[in-house]
């Protein structure tokens, strides 16, 4: 009886230990890639319950999405939610400038989150203008809006895109699974040791 009780306690302790050592579904907190004066992206952005790494890319639509379609293709609400989350993060990090986009001398940025491909690109845009307000936002802040463009051949040849890549989370049940495997290994080792003795 004492042996069984100690085995159960050892199993519970092993599961607790594995659960504490291994990361769960959320791999890391949201962080800005680069300083607020030269931001290149955001890691760990939560949109509709999914965590994304976002990079800012200046190129044509065809080049940016040559091998992988836009994350929110066919999902206008998702594109709007993504832009809103991006805007909140950019304001939270007090981002005043992006790096590698448009022209270095420009003072406004429009980060496009496409939800519909050419020839009529629809999506949402996270945008800001510093220091004057000529975009969809208040002065010095980021905001977002939806857009529809009928001729992307000129507008989307050289545009600034917010490219969303979903993180691959570690399943939350994995620590329990690992703990169970470890416990079975421990029980087998103890049983074999007792048999030899």
Sheet holding 41-47, edge to edge: 31-33, 41-47, 50-59, 159-166, 108-116, 121-129, 143-149
Predicted local distance difference test score (pLDDT) of residue 163: 96
Judge whether residue 102 has pLDDT over 80: no
Q: How many other CB atoms are there within 10 angstroms of residue 74's CB atom?
A: 12
Q: Which residues pair with 55 in a beta bridge?
A: 41, 163
Predicted local distance difference test score (pLDDT) of residue 41: 95
Higher pLDDT, 171 or 125: 125
Q: What is the pLDDT of residues 126-149, one digit of tens each?
A: 877 655 545 555 556 788 787 655
Q: Name, in order, each residue with C-beta under 8 angstroms of 141's C-beta and a sequence gap of 6 or more.
A: 91, 128
Predicted local distance difference test score (pLDDT) of residue 111: 87
Q: Is 129 exposed, middle or buried (0-12, 13-18, 19+ CB in 10 A)?
A: buried
- Tell me the mean pLDDT in the region 46-57: 95
Q: What is the pTM of this model?
A: 0.68
Report DSSP letters for 9-32, one per residue: HHHHHHHHHHHHHS--S--S--EE
Predicted local distance difference test score (pLDDT) of residue 164: 97
Share of the chain above pLDDT 70, in %: 54
Angstrom distance (rounded) from CA 58 to CA 160: 4
Judge whether residue 39 has pLDDT over 90: yes
Report DSSP letters for 64-122, one per residue: HTSSS--TTTT-HHHHHHHHHHHHHHHHHTT---BSSSS-TT--EEEEEEEEE-TTSEE
Question: Residue 51 — pLDDT band, cuts 50, 70, 90?
Answer: very high
Q: Name, in order, each residue with C-beta under 8 angstroms of 116's C-beta and a sequence gap of 6 or more.
A: 73, 74, 76, 122, 123
Predicted local distance difference test score (pLDDT) of residue 187: 62
- Encoded tokens for 98: 């992006």
């Amino acid at each position: 009886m004492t042996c069984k009780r100690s085995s159960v306690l050892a199993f519970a302790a092993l599961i607790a230990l594995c659960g504490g050592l291994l990361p769960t579904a959320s791999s890391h907190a949201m962080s800005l890639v680069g300083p607020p004066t030269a931001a290149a992206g955001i890691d760990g952005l939560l949109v509709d319950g999914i965590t994304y790494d976002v990079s800012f890319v200046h190129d044509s639509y065809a080049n940016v999405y040559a091998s992988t379609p836009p994350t929110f293709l066919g999902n206008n609400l998702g594109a709007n939610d993504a832009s809103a989350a991006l805007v909140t993060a950019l304001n939270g990090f007090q981002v005043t400038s992006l790096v590698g986009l448009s022209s270095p001398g420009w003072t406004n940025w429009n980060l496009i989150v496409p939800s519909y491909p050419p020839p009529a690109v629809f999506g949402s845009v996270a945008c800001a203008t510093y220091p004057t307000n000529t975009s969809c936002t208040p002065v010095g802040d980021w905001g977002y809006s939806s857009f529809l463009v009928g001729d992307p051949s000129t507008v989307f040849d050289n545009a600034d895109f917010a490219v969303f890549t979903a993180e691959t989370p570690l399943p939350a049940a994995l620590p329990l699974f690992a703990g169970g495997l470890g416990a079975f290994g421990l029980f087998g080792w103890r049983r074999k040791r007792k048999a030899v003795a």
